[in-house]
Amino acid sequence: MRFLLMPIRTNKQGVQINVGKDGDEYNAIVNTMTMHPDDMKELGIASGATVRVRTEVGEAEFQCKEANVPRGMLFVPYGPPTCQLYGGDTDGTGMPTSKGWDVEVEPV
């Protein structure tokens, strides 16, 4: 199934950056993706299960949790896993496109 991935910044992530990016709490934040419960059901994904997200550039694994998000959209905080999903093309802006990626999702 294909989805629209929206990398985001969260309040918890912002607070944790002040503590440090090397801790377990920060890693848990940036490795957790949220998805609509009906989308998870269609894919046979239980809350807390690991999923693989793939773009045309790369892939990463996330722990998937259900949330009140629109169907067909995925949300994940920016972090090392999201960096594996986008390339270096900047369309002349100097900043890679970092939102609205068309992705494939599969249970691991």
Could you tell me the pTM of the whole model? 0.85
**Domain containing residue 8: CATH number:** 2.40.40.20
How far apart, in Å, are the Cα atoms of 22 and each of 12, 54, 82?
A: 15, 25, 16
pLDDT in tens, 53-86: 999 899 999 999 999 999 999 999 988 999 899 8
**Phi, psi of 19, rounded to the nearest 5 degrees:** -80, -40
The rounded mean pLDDT for the chain is: 87
At 75 the pLDDT is 94
Given a cut of 80, whether residue 15 has pLDDT beyond it is no
At 16 the pLDDT is 59
Given a cut of 70, whether residue 51 has pLDDT beyond it is yes
Domains contained in the chain, number: 1
At 26 the pLDDT is 82
Range of the domain at 53: 2-107
At 30 the pLDDT is 92
Are the C-beta atoms of residues 62 and 76 closer than 8 Å to each other? yes
CA angle (93 as vertex; 33, 103 as ends), nearest 5: 30
